[in-house]
Amino acid sequence: MQVMNKEFNGALDLAIQIFLDEHPKKFLHQLISSQLDMDRLDYLSRDSFYTGVSEGVIGADRLIHMLNVADEELVIEQKGIYSVEKFLIARRLMYWQVYLHKTVVVGDCMLKQILRRTGVLLKEGTIKASLPIHHFMGREFDESMLSDFLKLDDSDIFAVVKNGMDSKDTILRMLCVHFINRDLWEIKVDEAPFNPEILESKRKKLAEKYNISEAESTYFVWSDSLENNAYMQKGENITILQKKMEPNEM
């Protein structure tokens, strides 16, 4: 944003100020980054439509209509509290059924391992930087690379995977072939962390099976964490504006 602001001779000063929460009207920042911001209202409805998961449908129009400002803070009118509850439930359900679905998670993890392995091979000089995205792997990002970086899209990522299918490197080839053929690996989800000894045992067996080192087996066996925080307990809250009661009201 700062680079673009220089190109536009400071025309984005106000937008950057709001984005960084430096504007005196704090509710402007809350509109773009909070627990009930416009981005969340947008992607829940959009993702629900394109995935066919009806649980993500929310009353975005009503929520926006119920928004108000009190003491320079974004609030929701009391009569909109049930719409907020539905929004939070929809957000949690979309995470479990779509964003954190096992197939989505393992596909995302495999793609990360492909890019990780590609970066290692580029550093070692085993493969050449023949694709646009290769020039960004294993390098410190600076402003001079921004214009080229903005040209990258999904097709560049897909090209890396397709090229990797014919790689001489066993690790990269296996990762890419399984990913393209949708032969996704098994994933297990548990509330407690996995026993490191079990993971180590699986890595050793896999290393022996494919004749690779234990360090290389970490591309196939690893553990990570998943979080489904529909509402963050710490930080910004969704504030309800209560109706003031008249003297004759109960």
According to DSSP, residue 245 is labeled P
C-beta separation of 56 from 45 below 8 A: yes
Among 4, 219, 243, residue whose Cα is nearest residue 109: 219
Please name the residue ranges forming H helices in the chain: 2-7, 13-19, 26-32, 38-51, 60-66, 81-94, 102-124, 146-149, 154-164, 170-180, 196-210
Contacts of 219 (CB under 8 A, 6+ apart): 113, 116, 117, 171, 175
Among 185, 191, 184, residue whose Cα is nearest residue 228: 191
Residue 94 has a CB neighbour count (10 Å cut-off) of 24
Please name the residue ranges forming H helices in 8-130: 13-19, 26-32, 38-51, 60-66, 81-94, 102-124
Q: What is the pLDDT of residue 131?
A: 82
Q: What is the pLDDT of residue 20?
A: 93
C-beta separation of 230 from 44 below 8 A: no
Long-range contacts of 197-202 (CB under 8 A, 24+ apart): 199/223
The residue to which tokens 């080192």 are assigned: 213
Q: What is the distance between the alpha carbons of residues 36 and 38, in angstroms, rounded to a whole number?
A: 7
Q: How far is CA 197 from the centre of its chain?
A: 30
Domains and CATH numbers, the chain: 1-33 (no CATH), 37-100+234-250 (no CATH), 102-187 (1.20.1250.30)
Phi-psi region of 133 (alpha: psi -120 to 50; beta: other; left: phi over 0): alpha
C-beta separation of 27 from 73 below 8 A: yes
Q: What is the pLDDT of residue 65?
A: 92
Tell me whether residue 219 is exposed, middle or buried, using C-beta atoms within 10 angstroms of its C-beta: 0 to 12, 13 to 18, 19 or more.
buried
Q: What is the distance between the alpha carbons of residues 76 and 70, in angstroms, rounded to a whole number?
A: 10
Q: What is the pLDDT of residue 138?
A: 65
pTM of the model: 0.80
pLDDT by 10s per residue, the chain, length 250? 888 888 889 999 999 999 999 999 999 999 999 989 999 999 998 999 999 888 888 888 999 999 999 988 999 999 999 999 999 999 999 988 899 898 999 999 999 999 999 999 988 888 887 788 887 876 777 777 887 888 888 999 999 999 999 999 999 999 999 999 999 988 888 888 888 999 999 999 989 988 888 889 999 998 888 887 777 777 678 889 887 744 443 3
According to DSSP, residue 97 is labeled I
